[in-house]
Amino acid sequence: MSGLKFKDYENLTLISQIALIMIIPIFGGLFLGKWLDEKLQTGNIFLLTMIILGVIIAFLNLFKYTMRGIKNRDDKDDEDE
């Protein structure tokens, strides 16, 4: 454990964030779509659209986090050299 630097803790906390940033947009889309459908009496259109939108946002978030992680690793490699 003594070999861990602050940057490593930073990455560990970011890893713990990954599951949540994927699931929250999907569930957000689910609830928002359900609410809109009930409000506007539109069957399941909004529910499906919002869930798909949620999945896209989840992937977008995941992509951003991964790029951030790669950047952190590169920075760390630069420091080590």
Partner 1 sequence: MSEGFGPQKVFEIFGMPITNTVTVTWLIMAIVISVSYFATRNLKKKASGAQVITELVVSSINNLTEQTMGEKLKAFSPYIGTLLIFIGISNISGLFGVRPPTADVNTTLSLAIVTFFMIHFFGIKYNGLKYLKGFAEPFVLLLPLNIMGELATPISLGFRLFGNIVGGMIIINLLYGALANFTPEFIGIPLLQAGIPVVFHIYFDLFAGVLQSFIFAMLTMVFISIAVD
Structure tokens given for 8:
């490593």
Among 28, 36, 49, 55, binds partner 1 (CB under 8 A): 28
CA 76 to chain CA centroid, Å, is 23
Among 4, 8, 17, 42, binds partner 1 (CB under 8 A): 17
- State in angstroms the smallest separation of the CB of 30 from partner 1: 13
Q: Which residues in 48-77 contact partner 1 (CB under 8 A)?
A: 53, 56-57, 60-61, 64, 68
CB 7 within 8 A of CB 1: no
Q: How far is CA 6 from CA 18, 51, 78, in A?
A: 19, 37, 15
- State in angstroms the smallest separation of the CB of 58 from partner 1: 8
Per CB under 8 A, residues contacting partner 1 are: 6, 9-10, 13-14, 16-17, 20-21, 24-25, 28, 53, 56-57, 60-61, 64, 68
